[in-house]
């Protein structure tokens, strides 16, 4: 997906405007949840997102949605990661 297509899909999916984040190499966010749904777009680097029954390696151009209240883990790759993340009320 292109970054333009990601931005266009935000309104359709009911997400707020995204913010850009940069995380350092090898960062680990151990098992946790959020009180909002997340929709990420990877700009640079790599992040693995794992939850019940899945583990997805996300690279530039990839998107992933993580439902609010779902246990998940985020592990950043060797080069760090820069990404956009948008939120919406959980279950919207």
Number of domains in the chain: 1
| CATH number where 22 lies | 2.60.120.10
Q: Identify which of 84, 64, 87 has the alpha carbon closest to the alpha carbon of residue 19.
A: 84
pLDDT at 92: 75
pLDDT at 49: 96
Please report, in tens digits, the pLDDT of each residue of the chain (92 residues total): 899 999 999 999 999 999 999 999 999 999 999 999 999 999 999 999 999 899 999 999 999 999 988 999 999 999 999 999 999 998 77
Host domain of residue 27: 3-89
Q: What's the predicted TM-score (pTM) here?
A: 0.92
pLDDT at 91: 75
Q: Which residues contact 46 (CB under 8 A, 6 or more apart)?
A: 57, 58, 59, 76, 77, 78, 79, 81
């Amino acid at each position: 997906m292109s970054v333009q297509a990601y931005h266009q899909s935000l309104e359709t999916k009911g997400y707020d405007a995204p913010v850009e984040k940069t995380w350092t190499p090898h960062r680990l966010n151990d098992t946790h949840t959020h009180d909002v749904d997340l929709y990420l777009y990877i700009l640079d680097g790599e992040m693995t997102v794992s939850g019940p029954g899945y583990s997805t390696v996300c690279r530039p151009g990839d998107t992933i949605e993580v439902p609010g209240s779902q246990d998940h883990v985020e592990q950043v790759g060797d080069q760090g990661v820069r990404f956009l993340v948008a939120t919406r009320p959980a279950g919207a």
